[in-house]
Amino acid sequence: MAQCWPPPPPLLLSLLPALLLLQLGLSLSMAATGNSLITSIASNYFLDLGVYGLDCPLDLSGSNFTRVASQCSNPSERGRCCRYINAMVAISVSQYANATSELGVAADMSERCIRTISKTFELYGVTSNATVFCGFGPKIHVTYKCQGRSTVTQMLQSPKFDDVAENCRAPLAEDKACRRCLNSGVLYLRNLLGPIDNVTLSTCRDATFAALASQVDYSSRLDIASCFFGVQGLIIPAGSPPPVPPPETSPLSPGAASPTQLSLTGSLKGNHHINRLAVVLGIGVAVIVLASILLAVLVFLIRRKHRELEDSDANDDAPPKALALSAKKFQDGPPGTFRKYSYRETKKATNNFNTVIGQGGFGIVYKAEFQGGLVTAVKRMSKVSEQAEGDFCRELELLARLHHRHLVALRGFCIERRERFLMYEFMANGSLKDHLHAEGRTPLSWRARIQIAIDVANALEYLHYYCDPPLCHRDVKSSNILIDENFVAKLADFGLAHASKNGSIFFEPINTDIRGTPGYLDPEYVISRELTEKSDVYSYGIVLLELITGRRAIQDNKNIIEWAQVILDSEGSRMDELVDPYLGDTYDFDQLRTAIAIVRWCTQREGRARPSIKQVLRLLYESSEPMHSGFVEAVEDDEGEGTENRGRKSRGKNVFSSGDRNLASSSSTSRSYCSRSFLLEMGSPQSPNNTPSI
């Protein structure tokens, strides 16, 4: 099966001969001495100098390594293991920031600190597999830089940071206090970063924590860390003996690895003999001379390759090989599904790209009219990068396999030169976001809102239960819900979708980068980075609350859940206050009560306390019409709960009925093949193919 990976950079390929030559030169210089002892001496000398020769200023004294080692030794606790490692490193960075006002160590010291901290974790029983899986170094940094801000002062002076500091004052042990702190942090990062569909929040989240924690005492610092990273017991309890590393595995000297004082420092072990030092210096001079010669060769190769790349860019009319193979596979697929369009056809159909109808994180969307009368929406990728290519390939592969009346259908694609286009069925009535929030639009009726909620739930039910392997959409929001000319709602934008790795209906937690849209992001996912189908259920609850209230997910710098929390907790006495004022009294009171109960259930802080999308759909059908009770019994959820018709008490006239729309779930068809192998190959960046299991 063709993989949608961009080819290796040509420049890297050109440098390989030079790099191999460098390695050969070093090997020959070692062999020329005729003494294996000299090679060993030089290797040990440079190893000691690189790892232990200079100090790393980050201090993990008092850290509860016993707790971390226990979590990391359990394969089912991988996400918690990563949060503990992240939290310990972030606390040490905040202590360093308190002393220096810098959000991490200097760049030339970063690699040294990463190696030394990794060896320290191994020393106290945390396996090297754990730090590799959690991405310590590539993902969990020792130097934080958020949008160019690398000091505490820069973070404190950034817009809206005062709100975070105000809402994150210790103590944060209570659930409401911690939730308030996390919500203010998400709002702050949204204002700071803007649209973040393709930006990881982790580094800026860690920088925000370090800036906050550097301004408070040690106990408050631990309190904030427990809230930010969702872990407890980060330090050794008072009165408990410190953990003692196994002496046979210790890479440090006994003084440096004292069980009473952990220090991330090292020193050269022993004094080198004068002759030994002279040999090392001689080898160093030889390496410098050889490196100078190789540098001149590299400069020549780089300049030559640069000219070749300029020439190839001028004449490059072919897409990357992997994309071309993938495109050919779909083009050769069943006739009548979709086709490949040329760049010329696309340009003509969009009137030279002058028919803009929308714009998102992926790029601009145009209305296109092709020969033969086909009208489509054309999404154009704004920039070609490795991540954008991955999202493009993912969406092309998924939509080619997915077929459901409540998912936007793919009509075609175009891959030419550096241009990437996807052609979708044209949705004449735009997005749900436009109908709810755009000025000048006729407000949606209560009946239409409930029907849209049912349509979206049907789409998610198909993804979670009837697709093989099951999928998490990962970006359910009102702007990704499109409405056709018959007012049928359909779910769109699968660039962030993620597959269940084991193919089971119920997802195992998947450790991923944080991607999504603020306001709709599951707080548990933000903290743990563990993705399950319950993250989609949380986002669905936000969309349902939008339908009820007519408010945006984030409005007046306040999260919609935070705004509605008091009313949601009032057990029904103030439900009227949540209803969109444009609806007046034209809504069904029983349906409103059911919808609010679903919102309250879907937005529970812990994913395991939320319902499955089947349970949500069942409640919506039960509240719609008694005639659907037979359907509800036919789609019993996993617990096998019975169906219970509810009485109806309307406020004003009864405005909800199924009309001519068929409410039966079209998800209850045979499972669709969703290209398991492609999705697993394009899986979580946290879990590279060759990374061993913890």
The tokens for 541 are 């609850």
Q: Which residues contact 358 (CB under 8 A, 6 or more apart)?
A: 364, 365, 377, 430, 431
Q: Which residues contact 76 (CB under 8 A, 6 or more apart)?
A: none
**Which candidate in 475, 522, 536, 580 is catalytic?**
475
Q: Which positions make up the binding site for ATP? A: 379
Question: Any idea what DSSP says for residue 463?
Answer: I
Q: What angle do CA 181, 187, 192 make, to 5 degrees?
A: 125
Give the Cβ contact number of residue 551 at 10 Å. 18
Give the Cβ contact number of residue 15 at 10 Å. 16
Contacts by residues 237-245 (CB-CB < 8 Å, ≥ 24 positions apart): 237/64, 243/65, 243/66, 243/124, 243/125, 245/123, 245/124, 245/125
Is beta strand 672-673 parallel, antiparallel or unpaired with respect to 467-468?
A: parallel
- Spatial distance between the Cα atoms of 630 and 638, rounded to a whole number of angstroms: 17
- Spatial distance between the Cα atoms of 326 and 2, rounded to a whole number of angstroms: 6
- Spatial distance between the Cα atoms of 22 and 290, rounded to a whole number of angstroms: 8
Q: Which positions make up the binding site? A: 379
The alpha carbon of residue 506 and the mean position of all alpha carbons in its chain are separated, in whole angstroms, by: 20
The string of DSSP codes covering 39-53 is HHHHHHHHHHHHHTS
- Spatial distance between the Cα atoms of 407 and 473, rounded to a whole number of angstroms: 11
Peptide bond before residue 469 is cis, with ω within 30 degrees of 0: yes
- Spatial distance between the Cα atoms of 612 and 637, rounded to a whole number of angstroms: 8
- Spatial distance between the Cα atoms of 60 and 89, rounded to a whole number of angstroms: 8
Q: Which residues contact 422 (CB under 8 A, 6 or more apart)?
A: 378, 379, 392, 395, 396, 399, 410, 412, 413
- Spatial distance between the Cα atoms of 79 and 283, rounded to a whole number of angstroms: 46
Q: Which residues pair with 380 in a beta bridge?
A: 364, 421
- Spatial distance between the Cα atoms of 624 and 421, rounded to a whole number of angstroms: 40
φ and ψ at 155, to 5 degrees?
-65, -45
Question: Any idea what DSSP says for residue 140?
Answer: B
- Spatial distance between the Cα atoms of 383 and 388, rounded to a whole number of angstroms: 7
Q: Tell me if residue 536 is catalytic.
A: no
Q: Which residues are catalytic?
A: 475
